[in-house]
């Protein structure tokens, strides 16, 4: 009788632990889902996205911006800008997006996608600068374009120093779907 009682208690404990584990897992999943939902439901204007882009890497969010350019031949990429038009974001066609048709240029899109980061290291920037300097010497006529690119590298270095990082972040988005917003 005592043994039966003991084993019954053991069995109840085992089931409740299992249930707890399932409950904990379900709660975790619910938390993840709700976090995701919060993230997807968060719709950023492009201008405000860059301020928090480093915190949103690999997160799925929505962003609004005006299409300035689509890749004419493949349509696999587009660039959007915010109202201030000071910075642009490259969006790759992934997920449900087969491509961005060229007629979207000028349209306001709300794009759901995953923010990605590409880090340009000091070594990469140094090598690029070296290549540009060699090109500048070799081709007298293209001094203007080379200088513009060299200036870009200087600005990147300045930004890295300001943020105290040894890399320069370039953010882009893997677009999963989009809607055209009627203004």
Full DSSP string of 122-167: HHHHHHHHHHHHHHHHH-GGGHHHHHHHHHHHHHHHHHHHHHT-SE
Among 60, 63, 107, 125, binds another protein (CB under 8 A): 107
Among 58, 103, 162, 183, binds another protein (CB under 8 A): 103
Nearer to another protein, 75 or 129 (CB): 75
76 vs 24: CA distance, rounded Å: 41
User: Which region among 33-41, 89-97, 109-117, 160-168 touches another protein (by CB under 8 A)?
Assistant: 89-97
Q: Is residue 2 near another protein by the rule CB under 8 A?
A: no
User: Which region among 52-60, 70-78, 119-127, 138-146 touches another protein (by CB under 8 A)?
Assistant: 70-78
Q: Is residue 132 near another protein by the rule CB under 8 A?
A: no
Task: Describe the crossing of helices 143-163 and 122-138 by its angle, rounded to 10 degrees.
Answer: 160
Q: Is 60 helix (H, G, I), strand (E, B) or coil?
A: strand
Give the CB-side neighbour count of residue 39, counting CA atoms within 13 A. Answer: 19
Pick out residues in 39-68 that bind another protein (CB under 8 A): 67
Please report, as ranges, the residues that interact with another protein according to CB under 8 A: 67, 72-73, 75, 93, 96-107
């Amino acid at each position: 009788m005592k043994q039966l009682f003991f084993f019954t208690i053991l069995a109840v404990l085992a089931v409740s632990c299992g249930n707890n584990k399932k409950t904990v897992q379900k709660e975790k999943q619910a938390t993840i889902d709700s976090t995701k939902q919060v993230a997807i439901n968060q719709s950023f204007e492009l201008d405000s996205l860059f301020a928090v882009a480093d915190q949103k890497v690999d997160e799925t969010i929505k962003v609004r911006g005006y299409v300035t350019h689509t890749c004419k031949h493949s349509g696999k990429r587009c660039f959007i800008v915010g109202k201030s038009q000071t910075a642009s974001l490259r969006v790759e066609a992934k997920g449900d997006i087969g491509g961005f048709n060229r007629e979207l240029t000028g349209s306001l899109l709300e794009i759901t996608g995953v923010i990605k980061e590409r880090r340009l290291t000091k070594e990469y920037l140094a090598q690029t600068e070296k290549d540009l300097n060699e090109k500048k010497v070799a081709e007298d006529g293209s001094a203007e374009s080379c200088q513009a690119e060299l200036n870009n590298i200087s600005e990147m270095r300045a930004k890295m120093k300001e943020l105290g990082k040894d890399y320069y972040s370039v953010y882009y988005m893997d677009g999963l779907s989009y809607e055209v917003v009627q203004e």
